[in-house]
Structure 1
């Protein structure tokens, strides 16, 4: 079975972001840091950066992330959104409220012309999100 999962890149905030997303979405978070693979560490001051993080939610969603150590090119996220859809309107509102803390709202969560609710924001870590809640 193939999987298609968002994989977010951060400069140094992957742990904080993934712990935040775990608080928003629930689930199990696994984090591997560069110090667990000594041959991968180029700067000892960055050995605790996240080499790989994976959040698996109770309903089977998977979100992954890593930090980008010095010496590797890094560009802030652009040209994409993490889209979360299929939840009830109530659950969508709960997730929206949590993600909106410290976020820039680009389109407020509201009734969508096609039904349900829809909104867009850029969270406190610079990650763009689109949320679609189903009609109930």
Structure 2
């Protein structure tokens, strides 16, 4: 979450299982994590201890960031920051529907889609 905060900015609040008295192997794992960004995005996360559920890591999660043409500079910066250490799967460029669109997989294996609305003026 610190990585996402470094890219998106905002206030990060994390509560671990240990904060609520859990001891042992998942005391340091995240029970509730929330990042409130200056752009109005809210990211929420939680660890999934194996004792509680089975998780398949892969391409089963995507996060989309979308905004208006006046948000283009900020969204381009977010795209570049999220791509650090990851892999761009589609460059952020003009799309057939008139917007600017790109996709990437970040350093943690999370897929991101970024869409910047075209100037409809």
Equivalent position of 1:55 in the other structure: 35
Q: Say which of 40, 50, 62 aligns to 1:81.
A: 62
CA contact (8 A) 1:89 1:116 kept: no
Equivalent position of 1:118 in the other structure: 101
SS of structure 2 residue aligned to 1:95: helix
Kindly report which structure 2 residues correspond to 1:22-37, keeping only aligned pairs within 5 A, or say none.
22-37=5-20
Range with bigger deviation, 66-75 or 113-122: 66-75
Q: Distance in 2 between matches of 1:46 and 1:79?
A: 24
Q: 1:24 offset after TM fit, Å?
A: 1.0
Q: 1:77 offset after TM fit, Å?
A: 4.4
Q: Distance in 2 between matches of 1:60 and 1:77?
A: 27
TM-score (norm 2): 0.85
CA RMSD, aligned part only?
Answer: 1.7
Q: Say which of 61, 67, 89 aligns to 2:47.
A: 67
Equivalent position of 1:8 in the other structure: none
Deviation string for 1:83-108 (max 9, x for gaps)? 10015222121011100011122111
Number of equivalences? 116
Q: Distance in 2 between matches of 1:37 and 1:116?
A: 45
